[in-house]
A and B are shown apart, each in its own frame.
Chain A
């Protein structure tokens, strides 16, 4: 079974803090993704990566950055947290190929006070 692990299930931070969300997958997947999910809006793609040290902007990259130094790890960074970044953050990974589904971690529920 694919295992995608996110570092925290719940996190509370303050406005202006730098926040790190970590994601690790154990299936040697090439592709990794970060989404946020908000009520009524569905999943929105923040950033994704197709290879080590490679990153691409998704639909809502503003206020975020990412790092992929190793194939199995993909980090999401909130440079200066703001209250509108309070959300559920989901990491996913997949193999390369248009018919390959994504597999999700448990999610991190982040609150910015």
Chain B
């Protein structure tokens, strides 16, 4: 059973460009969570999605950030017009049911904004 997949693993963008981060949950999981890890910090919750629905995006910046989890295909975290402060590791996690099951994390995408 493949784990949570994320790609790309590393992404370099110049200020003002767009970043698209992809996450495929574990097989059988329909709940996806995105977290951001800044250097020397713990992970911070960004958004929680189920198929075709955003359940909670309270941890996501109001501007430039968006997330989706379409009926088919991976979940996408999109950052428009990136700035240097967006440089971080972005982790996706999935679970089979919310709050009942452990969240399993992907390998992360390390975004560097030049």
Please say whether chains A and B are actual partners in one complex. Answer: no
Contact residues of B with A, CB < 8 Å?
none
